[in-house]
Structures are given as structure tokens and as C-alpha cells.
Amino acid sequence: METKERKKKIQVNIDRSLANDVDAILESLGLNQTTLITALYKRVAAQGEVPFSLALTKEEKINLELMDAIDLIPTQHISTAEELSNWLDEDE
């Protein structure tokens, strides 16, 4: 009879920089990735939902709108010093 609890292995790909940032925080809290993910899964199971908002913050929404607006600005390819000079001298 097997006494070891059955486990399911979950593998995910996470941005390395994000993972390093989170690992540093977890280490300072005395936790590891497995503990964090297990706690998250337990909360989802208990509440029947993700226990935090997945919506954009106000700042994230503003940044997204800004990036969309920047994409609408026409661009001009300048490859010579003369083209650059002409562009800088143009009046709007």
C-alpha cells in the first residue's frame, strides 16, 4: 500500500526577471514557489474563484491608452542628415 500522497507535477514558463523578483520576495518570507502555488490553489478551491482581481489597475489602463495613442502618431523614416535637417526645419 502506497503511503506517499499522490502529486501532480505542474510546469509553467515564467519570465526570468519576474521569477527572480518573486523568488527574492518569497525567500525573504521563508517561502518557496511550491508553497505559494499550493496556497493559491487552495484559495481557488475554497472560494471557487481567483482570490484577487485580474483587472488592469488605473495606471495600467492609462499606460495602455497612451501606447495606443502613440501608435497613431505618423512616423517618417529619415536616412540622411539632409532629411533630418529638413524635418527639423519644418513648421507645423
Domains of the chain by residue range = 16-89
The structure's pTM equals: 0.60
DSSP string, 13-39: ---HHHHHHHHHHHHHHT--HHHHHHH
How many residues can be counted in the chain? 92
Please report the pLDDT score of residue 90 as a whole number: 83
Q: Where residue 92 falls among pLDDT bands split at 50, 70, 90? A: low
Q: What is the pLDDT of residues 20-79, one digit of tens each?
A: 999 999 999 999 999 999 999 999 999 999 999 999 999 999 999 999 999 999 888 999
